[in-house]
Chain A
């Protein structure tokens, strides 16, 4: 029995490796297609709309107000519900997406998504064959964590797309991250497929690790959304002040030469405003980030509880301040901080966003940092 397991079905393990390299190749193509999407988008007429957006938004608001006054809306089908943005929010509409208004860009974007689906299938195949080759959950070491984590991130993204959520703008950051993650996995973290040490023989492995990975994948989407919120928020603030496009150029011309930092920021803005204008509105990004983080928080709580139950069975205490436990706790408290910040005056918006990013940083540190730099009971994970 052991001899059979030890043979570890090398064939399957080999297939798994071939699949992961194929997936990486296709992800690279998807990455390039997304770049093309953004590039063609930038040549589209989006630039024009930058200035128009605010006036359009103003017009839209006035119109919405009018409809509210109109009283007798003629609705025979499903009733139309008029929504009002919360007071104080900017009421800027979502951008058109990476492709802008360029049809060519849109075609590239669609190609990118199709390629992502294809590489996701290859990726999933690799994880599955790896699992079959060792006849256990494929989470025995960092290589396996990383490939499964990447797969789950793509899965979450495709799932959101499948549910018709407006997340195609995530494509480029997604493919970039996946390539980094898999690149690191196959080069630095690679471990031959093999059996588990006795401490990992437990059905809690399935429960605890799978939820931990799912949480991380969803937190990643939340963090991306939050990060882009910060950029887009800055862009919208300038939009309202009229410091985009020509206005920004004028502002830059008037800035004295010695105000280096301000000039640098303005120049950066000049370059990034175009992609920014194609992103969803800051309010949309903010909300998406919040929704995801808030949805995942209970799952992360569960992950920690499951880990504690397992630790109790394996090591005789449910909580022992092992570095991995410590950082899960820090991550948990940081996300709790974020949720509190959203409910505290003066902390909503950008400040809460910074906390959310820091919380995600804690998750990532727990994942890479603790495994690599800190030794503890979890360090048999075979870095």
Chain B
């Protein structure tokens, strides 16, 4: 099999280095430095005296620092950090997070007496702002910066450089083809160069060959991707630091102005100040909800629509808008989301003297999916029949659809099919002036007595709209009507568009990085012993790819127009039998 052209063994080694040069700088990935895993003493010989010591210590420190930096920016450490990042992300999905659901997190902490405090110490209730999580991603991003900067310079160098000259033995490359032609070598090379240029290869002529390279966008894409990750991180971080997010419950007909005091509940990033709230206001004109009437998912909400009138700025003109679940209202740099709804029974309370002590809607909190609500009303300014000062507290449920046949007082459907307000009443001291802030949705009855009816049972009554309940002390509560309410989340998050831009750049970058192949193609044409010109084409990619041989075949076919092959008449060609036994032939399907 071995022919006279077989190169001597000594040449084999030369070919290896030759081939290595051909493949050099085909990517900007950091060099693998296996030998460097263990640092030596960087200081070298220590000269006597304080000065000698200082110089030694400086060399040592710098040596270690450089070693550390090289480790940190190596592919292996980046890999480990990525791996750690994915591991560290897990607990946040399994342990309730304060930032996601504070109530649930608190509940979990309380119900796990031993684990609770331990988890607290480990920061498991706020994984994504914990020290260890931050440490991992900060190290990872430091590594990333340390990786990108040199790679960018290297890439700029590569863009300025030329493709490396053809290795001596093109047959050693992963894909190659060859034929003989009667065309002159110079002609073939000129044709090859034109062809490669037309296919957007960057070409470089050599003495008997043409070198070419293509696919620089792969590296560019990879760098863009990694840089975009940094942009994303910065956008996300700034969003977290300056964001504000508050909630407000608004009864139909009422309004909201964007100032801190108006929020029911407000969270903000650590660099946010109240001045950052942009002025605007809106009114809830009307709220519409529809529910599935039949079928297994009866009661599931189908549409929620809040019709609002809003004013941009301090006193802009009123504009109408509809806020839906996926369609927030955008105004003055804020977004207003619809996040919940319920009913507010509207009542009028008169005291024992017949004077109005309260009039309005009582926003009540839903306790189940059919919007059974718990209702609490505190009336602080109240006089009894005898003119004595007193305080009254009402407590009970609002039920949008009561069906007594079911034997429960729970609502059977979320719409207002058969609404009832079921209340009992207390009198005494509400505790509202005691200094501690009070929850409007809870009645503290520790200093109050429940009213009793004539038989001495606790006083309670179920009211239809229009009904009036008369308290034993002469006061009344009239159920006037029902108004829906909606809760809105008002958020301001700077950096959203930066994050989006970063994400899109990352996407484009990674697609370029993974779909574009960087490859080199060499063409050599020399006059052979028999007087014909021997043309050789060879290709090298960063990884073995089925596309490269295909492309090479394409190029060869195109080049044969200018350098038509001559049929070999001498010795039978061993290649024919070799081709069929070529191991790669059988697997071509899967490699494509």
Contacts and interface: CB of A to CB of B under 8 A. Distances in A.
Q: Do A and B bind each other?
A: yes
Interface of A: 2-3, 6-8, 56-57, 59-76, 78-86, 91-94, 163-167, 192, 194-195, 197-199, 201-202, 204, 280-281, 283-285, 287-288, 294-295, 297-298, 301-302, 305, 308-310, 312-323, 326-327, 329-330, 333-334, 336-337, 339-341, 343-347, 355, 362, 370, 374, 376
B582 A60 contact: yes
A337 B76 CA distance: 10
Interface residues of B, number: 104
A165 B97 CA distance: 46
A2 B544 contact: no
Nearest to A204: B326
B591 interface: yes
Contacts of A192: 295-297
B230 interface: no
A74 B591 contact: no
A81 B175 contact: yes
B587 A298 contact: no
A12 B235 CA distance: 47
Interface stretch (B313-321, B417-425, B473-481, B570-578): B570-578
Contacts of B326: 198-199, 201-202, 204, 310, 313-314
B17 interface: no
Contacts of A376: 93, 100
**CB-CB nearest 6 A-B residue pairs:** A166-B589, A63-B578, A67-B575, A67-B578, A79-B556, A326-B93
B89 A317 contact: no
A165 B423 CA distance: 72
Given A6-B293, A86-B174, A69 B179 contact: no
Contacts of B327: 313
23 contacts: A6-B295, A66-B575, A73-B177, A73-B178, A79-B179, A81-B552, A82-B176, A82-B579, A83-B175, A198-B302, A201-B325, A287-B590, A305-B504, A313-B326, A315-B339, A321-B100, A322-B100, A326-B93, A329-B89, A337-B79, A343-B75, A347-B79, A376-B93
B575 A80 contact: yes
A317 B174 contact: no
B2 A69 contact: yes
A312 B496 CA distance: 9
B514 A294 contact: yes
Contacts of B582: 60, 63-64, 82-83
B34 A345 contact: yes
Nearest to B171: A68
A324 B423 CA distance: 41
A79 B297 contact: no
Interface stretch (B50-58, B65-73, B150-158, B560-568): B560-568
Contacts of B85: 333
Contact of B583 (A2, A61, A309): A61
A283 B575 CA distance: 24
A67 B506 CA distance: 45
B549 A81 contact: yes
Given A78-B557, A340-B75, A280 B175 contact: no
A74 B567 contact: yes
Contacts of A163: 592
B469 interface: no
Contact of A85 (B5, B301, B583): B583
B586 interface: yes
Contacts of B460: none
A344 B79 contact: yes
B399 to A, nearest CB: 23
Given A80-B575, A84-B173, A337-B83, A60 B583 contact: yes
A316 B491 contact: yes
B574 A63 contact: yes
A40 to B, nearest CB: 21
Nearest to A309: B500
